């Protein structure tokens, strides 16, 4: 993308001023959480405990989001919230209980500028018991029942707004061998990041038939330091099936220089009653990441089959080119991207990092008609600052993100600004 064109197409001066004021006020006033919730596990030895050994947890988050779409439609909101919960110790070394409530309260958000996903679609606040689970542990394996977090390539919290996705599920996981871990189970319902309601997995995918769930299984094999092989199967009853495989291999080039090569492949196909339509498609990608001291760079290429857009209703898309605004996963799309990053700790500013990425998508088609769709490209910039140990706000992370999405034939560039402050509260 031509940077001068992106700047030329940004919103008018009044909107820019309002955006800058909102971002500055947010950074000055807020705190928030980087984590997604709590999961079964051992309690920290040095953490605060309530009577009975129960662990209190609190994460605060505030988020400002401002977008001007390709057609000039704005979406704006500023929210404050986070989550609070309790986790018991392992009772009898077998049973553990956990509960978490999530909230996102509107500080600013006009009714006619909804769509940020920080709040509900009508800009109403979000208040929900997102996690409520019981876990049983035996011989190193853990069975978890009811509302919980799942973090797999196509089923995950998608924690990039105020509140993550959570799931009503029954799962089993463990690590029976060193470097090898497994997980799997049945997922009945999902609560999306902008909702208070849990709905069936088939309904969330867009199905119009009976309410159905999903069965999944996944394995992770860390076969060497920095090297991993991962595989998942996700079978959505009467909707569609996804198989996912990826691998990464590190190559040491010098003392402070390392190359990591990665590849991924994920076919998808309708099954049973095919509630979202009869289709077959696939996605694939390759990536090379180079790091040298505080500097990093990456080059990626992805391709999507012409049969259908790859589907990810249950979480963030795992594509190497899933950027801030689009995942470059339209039917037929060929995309490439390049990016770089720097950690400023070696330059006397510990906790500060920055990155930028550019990606372009070509050869998109309408899967139903085969008609060509416009080419598009996206440019993202990001800066993060983490407060280090020994400071009053230890653990606080402030993030600024800005993106330009350009599409052939659109009247303007789609700009999107995000400012997030996360703070894990220490009792």
Please report, in tens digits, the pLDDT of each residue of the chain (427 residues total): 433 333 334 444 344 434 433 443 333 333 322 369 999 999 998 888 999 999 999 999 999 999 999 999 999 999 999 999 999 999 999 999 999 999 999 999 999 999 999 999 999 999 999 999 999 999 999 999 999 999 999 999 999 999 999 999 999 999 999 999 999 999 999 999 999 999 999 999 999 999 999 999 999 999 999 999 999 999 999 999 999 999 999 999 999 999 999 999 999 999 999 999 999 999 999 999 999 999 999 999 999 999 999 999 999 999 999 999 999 999 999 999 999 999 999 999 999 999 999 999 999 999 999 999 999 999 999 999 999 998 989 999 999 999 999 999 999 999 999 999 999 987 7
The structural domains of the chain, ordered by start, are 10-196 (2.40.160.10), 213-386 (2.40.160.10)
CB 324 within 8 A of CB 380: yes
What CA–CA distance (Å, rounded) separates 117 from 114? 8
Three-class HEC string of 189-226: EEECCCCCCEEEHHHHCCCCCCCCCEEEEEEEEEEECC
Burial 46-66 (b: 16+ CB within 10 A, else e): eeeeeeeeebebebbbbbbbb
Structure tokens at 53: 């050994």
CB 196 within 8 A of CB 120: yes
What CA–CA distance (Å, rounded) separates 331 from 412? 24
- Taking the alpha carbons at both ends of the chain, their separation in whole angstroms is 47
What backbone phi and psi angles, to 5 degrees, belong to 5?
-70, -40
């Amino acid at each position: 993308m031509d940077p001068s064109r992106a700047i030329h197409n940004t919103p008018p001066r009044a909107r820019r001023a309002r955006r800058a004021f909102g971002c500055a006020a947010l950074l000055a006033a807020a705190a928030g959480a980087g984590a997604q919730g709590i999961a079964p596990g051992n309690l920290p030895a040095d953490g605060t405990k309530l009577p009975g050994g129960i662990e209190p947890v609190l994460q605060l988050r505030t988020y400002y989001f401002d977008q001007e779409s390709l057609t000039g439609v704005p979406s704006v909101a500023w929210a404050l919230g986070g989550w609070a919960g309790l986790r018991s110790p392992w009772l009898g070394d077998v049973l553990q209980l956990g509960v978490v409530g999530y909230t996102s309260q509107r500080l600013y958000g006009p009714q006619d500028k909804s769509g940020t996903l920080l709040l509900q679609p009508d800009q109403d606040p979000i208040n929900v018991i997102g996690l409520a689970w019981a876990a049983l542990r035996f011989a190193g394996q853990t069975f978890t029942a009811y509302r919980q977090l799942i973090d797999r390539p196509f089923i995950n919290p998608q924690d990039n707004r105020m509140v993550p996705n959570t799931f009503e599920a029954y799962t089993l996981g463990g690590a029976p061998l060193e470097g090898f871990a497994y997980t799997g189970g049945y997922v009945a319902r999902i609560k999306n990041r902008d909702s208070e309601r849990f709905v069936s997995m088939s309904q969330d995918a867009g199905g119009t038939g009976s309410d159905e769930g999903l069965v999944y299984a996944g394995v992770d094999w860390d076969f060497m330091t920095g090297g991993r092989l991962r595989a998942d199967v996700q079978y959505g009853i009467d909707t569609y099936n996804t198989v996912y495989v990826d691998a990464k291999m590190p190559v040491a080039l010098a003392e402070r220089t390392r190359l990591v090569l990665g590849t991924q492949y994920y076919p998808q196909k309708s099954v049973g009653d095919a509630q979202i339509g009869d289709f077959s498609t696939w996605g694939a990608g390759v990536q090379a990441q180079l790091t040298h001291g505080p500097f990093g760079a990456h080059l990626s290429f992805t391709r999507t089959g012409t049969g259908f857009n790859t589907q990810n209703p249950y979480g963030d898309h795992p594509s190497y080119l899933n950027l801030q605004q689009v995942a470059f996963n339209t039917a037929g799309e060929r995309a490439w991207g390049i990016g770089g990053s720097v950690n400023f700790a070696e330059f006397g500013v510990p906790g500060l990092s920055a990155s930028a990425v550019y990606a372009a998508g070509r050869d998109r088609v309408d899967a139903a008609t085969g008609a060509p769709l416009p080419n598009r490209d996206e440019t993202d910039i990001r800066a993060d600052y983490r407060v280090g140990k020994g400071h009053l706000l230890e653990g606080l992370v402030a993030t600024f993100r800005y993106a330009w999405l350009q599409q052939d034939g659109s009247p303007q560039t789609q700009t999107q600004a995000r400012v997030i402050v996360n703070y894990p509260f220490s009792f």
